[in-house]
Amino acid sequence: MIPKLSKVFGIQNFSPSIRIEKEMPAIRAMVQEVVREVYTPGKTFKITAKRSDHSFELDSNGLNQELGGAVIEAIPEIQVQMKKPDINLELKFVKMRRIYLMKRFAVRVDCQWAPVVVVC
């Protein structure tokens, strides 16, 4: 389906998604899995968490630190880079019951895709 969508006139980008439970162990595991999928030696990463659901147990900075730590746990050799990382894992926390992890396929040549996690 992805190759077909990329050829449809008028579609600028699209985001396939994976459903995740709204619990930190599940979020950590999925973040680790996604980064393992796209990581190759020498790539850098950044976690960008944004919340509209302020009832979640951690604030944005806490999420950035917790999930960044999870990535380093999974891939000890990966380097953090705040400006222009190779992998920018975006998490958007919204008021819903589930989390949706979306892989946004980028058009830019230097980036295969930028993972986006929507926490619902």
Three-class HEC string of the chain: CHHHHCCCCCCCCCCCEEEEECCHHHHHHHHHHHHHHHCCCCCEEEEEEEECCCCCCCCHHHHHHHHHHHHHHHCCCCEECCCCCCEEEEEEECCCCEEEEEEEECCCCCCCEEEEEEEC
Q: How far apart are CA 75 and CA 82, in angstroms?
A: 17
The answer to whether residue 106 scores a pLDDT higher than 50 is no
pLDDT digits (tens, 9 = 90+) for 25-72: 988 998 899 889 889 999 999 998 888 778 888 899 999 999 999 999
